[in-house]
Copies of this chain bind each other. A is one copy, B any other.
Amino acid sequence: MDLLDRLSEILGPAQVLRGADALAHGRDWTGHYAWEPMAVVRPGTTEEVAAVLRLAQETGTPVVPLGGNTGLNGGTCAQGALMLSLARMTRIRDLNPAARTVVVEAGVVLETLHTLAALQGLAFPLTFGAKGSAMVGGFLSTNAGGSNVLRYGSARALCLGLEVVLADGRIWNGLTGLHKDNTGYDLRDLMIGAEGTLGIITAAVLKLVPAATAHATALVGLDSLSEALKLLNTVQAGTGGAVEAFEFMPDRYMARLARLKPALACPYAPRPVNVLIETGTTVPGADPIGALEELLAGAMDANHVTEAVIAQSAAQRRKLWEMRESAAEITFTTPDIVDCDIALPLDRLETFLARMTPALAALDPGAEELVIAHLGDGNIHYTAYPSRSDPDLAQAIRAKVSAEAVNLGGSFSAEHGVGISKRATMAAHKDPVALAMMAAIKAALDPKGILNPGKVLP
């Protein structure tokens, strides 16, 4: 019996997609990547995932896990491989509002977590544009970030425990909900961010936090990034660390937004630096809008801030957020872009941008650049639009961005992971001892190399 027939026997024939049905999963949403998978399997339980992996291990079949397919680095490319979709594993296994934890399976969509938590007066603070599609298994496997990392951390900081199926089908039950647990190596954080190359996450214990009972959201115009960083420190100190988001949208971003989504145009003539600030509080009777108004008024008096709009209603708040969350939509308008996701020390952001503009022009005088940033984390999404479709040029631009970031003490991948698109950059810039350690760990946990082959490791 061939492999697909054996898989059909385990999962039922309806859960093994072949031919055209499989090919429908043969691309990523950016349009950068396309492939022809061997088949797509859709297990419904951890035991079924384990059975698929036992069979894959026995037959040496490469397996690529698939969540909401919203990744940006080709992490789900699966040429000739078996794709393992977690989309049917959508159970909420446990919800404990008193302990502020929820145990969910890998196929639960991020936005579902938001809804679920809100019904309990709690919040799951991880959020980003693709929240309506991204799934637990995917956002943990890529250690996703987003707009609230400043206050709550990346996906890793919001996960207490994991259930993982290993390459040979063994199931590791690490579903602890404890905040302190020093019983051996930190296997949880090793699996988080490994992009499915060390094991397949099937379930997780996630932290919930008290939902802010009031927010203040503002869009602020300033003349420079250094003024913006002063403002961040002022608002952090003045609110006791209540800043939940501090998002940078330069004038060029505002112009593109006005062109592609006119309803979301900047409410004032855009400044070189525009920042979406949001604070949140759980203190009963607190007035975060009044507090933010006062802090911004002080900053305007001191000439640090030149424009400021504060949302006075939920609808106005929603609109300010849509300006930010349209980023992927207005960025990925053509496959021929070079999208880079870098992190820098906060005091080097300005230098980086000042250096990149002429560096890009030197490589391609007709190229345009687009920047948006999680400023509070030092995380810039830098996108170049080359004037011609030329893989060598694209590679040269990517290499330049990475090299400039690394030269300034930064990283060539902040929150989007490595996937396929940054493997060459890994080889060029990652510490060689770290690469050797990664290779040793990969060989130890997946000796046949069947898990998401060709990703992460150069």
- Please report A residues at the B interface, Cβ cutoff 8 Å: 96, 98-99, 142-143, 145, 149, 154, 156-157, 166, 170-174, 176-187, 189-190, 192-194, 198, 210, 236-242, 281-284, 286, 343-347, 374, 377-379, 409-418, 422, 426, 429-431, 433-438, 440-441, 443-445, 456-457
Contact = CB atoms under 8 A, between A and B. Distances in A.
A441 B180 contact: no
A344 B378 CA distance: 36
B180 A343 contact: yes
Contact of A456 (B143, B149, B184, B444): B184
A424 to B, nearest CB: 13
Nearest to A346: B99
A282 B237 contact: yes
11 contacts: A99-B347, A143-B182, A154-B180, A172-B433, A178-B345, A179-B378, A181-B411, A183-B418, A185-B193, A185-B441, A187-B438
Given A182-B417, A186-B186, 7 more contacts: A178-B410, A184-B426, A184-B457, A186-B189, A187-B434, A236-B282, A437-B445
Given A239-B283, A345-B99, A378-B179, A433 B170 contact: yes
A411 B178 contact: yes
A192 B186 contact: yes
A437 B181 contact: no
Nearest to A283: B240
A284 B295 CA distance: 12
Secondary structure type dominating chain A contacts: loop
B284 A437 contact: no
A283 B238 contact: yes
A343 B160 CA distance: 13
Contacts of A282: 236-237, 240-241
A236 B437 CA distance: 42
A182 B416 CA distance: 7
Contacts of A166: 433, 437
A185 B438 contact: yes
A251 to B, nearest CB: 25
Contacts of A185: 190, 193-194, 198, 437-438, 441, 456
Given A99-B346, A343-B178, A434 B172 contact: yes
Contacts of A149: 179-180
Contacts of A347: 98-99
The list of the 8 closest CB pairs from A to B, nearest first, reads A444-B444, A189-B189, A440-B444, A180-B414, A172-B433, A181-B411, A240-B283, A186-B189
